[in-house]
Amino acid sequence: MANELQPARGTHDLIGEDQRRYQHIVDTARRIAASYGFEEWATPIFEDTRVFSRTLGETSDVVTKEMYTFEDRGGDSVTLRPEFTAGVCRALVSNGLTQSLPQKVFLAGPIFRYDRPQKGRYRQFHQLDLEVLGSAEPLADAEVIACGWDIIKALGVAQHVVPELNTLGDRESRQSYRDALVAYFTEHQAALSQDSLARLDRNPMRILDSKDPADRRLVADAPTITPYLTEAAAGFYDSVKRYLTQFGVPFTENPRIVRGLDYYGHTAFEFITTKLGAQDAVGGGGRYDGLVTQMGGPSVPAVGWALGIDRLALLLDEPPPVPSAVAVVPVGDSAEAIALGIVQTLRNAGIRAEIAYRGNLRRRMERANRIGARAAVIIGDDDIARGVAQVKNLQTGEQEAVALSELAERLR
Ligand code: HAM
């Protein structure tokens, strides 16, 4: 089959068990986010390229190497969203919502990055995303992290995940930390990788994120931000930690977290797992107080995270089972019209019910067994005359006549 087409590299179909895992993760997150008072938004999958290029950081890998950017037929440059946050800020401004703050937003859907595909890393993947727009309070930071942690717990994967926390300080803290890092790495620049050397001038904090083994040895002894924090930044960080403890979130501090996107200040965090090899982050986020201004809006302090659905799916033990159906089986042509009425009544009562499109009694019963139906509702001319149907329990084989008016109640 030389011409059989395959999914594009780095994409995958969600079918059967994979789709059930995906749906379970989104349903769980949606329920928990709603319980925290978040409202769901859906923003476009593609945006004006400037929404991302201006804001994620001109030196970030996402902008320099990973965006799916193209000119549309009208000559406009558009980009498939490589994350949700910038689009959410754009939407806040475009919809005039900067006057109705705070906004607590939840989203879920596909995200696109031209990354090198491997286990847990794809070119089309899926994120859950949570943002609080319009709060400068450290309680907002703690609340979004607590909500993420609750989702991870509800999915039953908390034993594989640790929330790791850091602060990137305020502008003043970052400036003095940056100077300290430049001094340190300049002293050791002969040992730095080519990539990190390029970052030394433009964004030295990103060196802390390098995967290069030689860089990592240097990073191990590099200064941390703690002594460079202003009193205000240190106080903010202490409050976030205090609230997290009050929320019961068991976090670990990791001064090496810098995040791969440039819009963060103050809180930065990741949900780390040891179960997925190199792809060790199931989620991450932080505070981004300047992003809405970059979108042309007023100053709107904000904090949020994204969780990788595909990575969470790899951690889930068992996907939830498919609820088993009731098969409605007419015997003879005249019974079919009644059977269609029954199948619709059951469906309207919220019962998963199926009717085969064709076939005699034997074929239809075979099909009922093949789809794993829990019961068959068999109806023939005699039954119609008596106003009943035969309900056969397909696990035990027991069969009894049930009045048509009582079917839905009995099969619930
Ligand atoms: P991020 O750390 O770039 O943050 O991505 C969040 C999560 O998306 C990662 O932790 C990972 O689980 C998943 N992910 C990233 N790339 C891939 C990939 N190629 N394949 C599979 N999963 C992947 C953000 O996107 C920020 N917008 C988070 C945020 C929201 N910050 C504030 N608000």
When computed from its CA atoms, the radius of gyration of the chain, rounded to whole angstroms, is 28
Residue 7's Cβ-count burial label (10 Å; 0-12, 13-18, 19+) is exposed
Per-residue confidence (pLDDT) for residue 57, from 0 to 100: 77
Q: How far is the centre of ligand 1, averaged over its atoms, from the C-alpha of 67 (Å)?
A: 14
Ligand 1, atom nearest to 113 Cα: 19
Q: Which of 18, 269, 311, 316 to mutate to test the pocket of ligand 1 (most atoms within 8 A of CB)?
A: 311
Q: How far is the centre of ligand 1, averaged over its atoms, from the C-alpha of 50 (Å)?
A: 20
Determine the Cα–Cα distance for residues 389 and 403; give it in Å rounded to an integer.
6
Spatial CB neighbours of 178, under 8 Å, sequence gap ≥ 6: 204, 205
**In terms of Cα–Cα distance, which of 105, 175, 84, 117 is closest to 147?**
105
Pocket around ligand 1: residues whose beta carbon is below 6 Å from it? Answer: 83-85, 113, 115, 121-122, 125, 127, 129, 131, 260-261, 281-286, 288, 304-306, 308, 310-311
Q: How far is the centre of ligand 1, averaged over its atoms, from the C-alpha of 190 (Å)?
A: 32
Per-residue confidence (pLDDT) for residue 2, from 0 to 100: 63
Tell whether omega for the bond before 298 is within 30 degrees of 0, i.e. cis: no
Q: Which residues pair with 107 in a beta bridge?
A: 129
Helix (H, G, I), strand (E, B) or coil at 321: coil
**In terms of Cα–Cα distance, which of 226, 250, 238, 43 is closest to 145?**
250
Residue nearest to atom 13 of ligand 1 (CA): 308
Per-residue confidence (pLDDT) for residue 1, from 0 to 100: 54
Which pTM was predicted?
0.93
Spatial CB neighbours of 348, under 8 Å, sequence gap ≥ 6: none
Per-residue confidence (pLDDT) for residue 58, from 0 to 100: 75
Residue nearest to atom 31 of ligand 1 (CA): 285
- pLDDT, one tens digit for every residue, the chain (412 residues): 567 999 999 999 999 999 999 999 999 999 999 999 999 999 999 999 999 987 877 777 888 789 999 999 999 999 999 999 999 999 999 999 999 999 999 999 999 999 999 999 999 999 999 999 999 999 999 999 999 999 999 999 999 999 999 999 999 999 999 999 999 999 999 999 998 998 888 889 889 888 889 999 999 999 999 999 999 999 999 999 999 999 999 999 999 898 878 899 999 999 999 898 888 899 999 999 999 999 999 999 999 999 999 999 999 988 778 889 999 999 988 899 999 999 999 999 999 999 999 999 999 999 999 999 999 999 999 999 999 999 999 999 999 999 999 999 999 9
Q: Which of 111, 132, 209, 266 to mutate to test the pocket of ligand 1 (most atoms within 8 A of CB)?
A: 111
Per 3-state DSSP, what percentage of the chain is helix, strand, and coil (rounded to 5)? 45, 20, 35
Residue nearest to atom 11 of ligand 1 (CA): 308
Q: How far is the centre of ligand 1, averaged over its atoms, from the C-alpha of 221 (Å)?
A: 27
Dihedral-angle region of residue 202 (phi above 0 means left; psi in -120 to 50 means alpha; beta otherwise): alpha
pLDDT tens digits, one per residue of 165-203: 999 999 999 999 999 999 999 999 999 999 899 888 888
State the amino acid at position 297 in one-letter form. G
Ligand 1, atom nearest to 259 Cα: 2
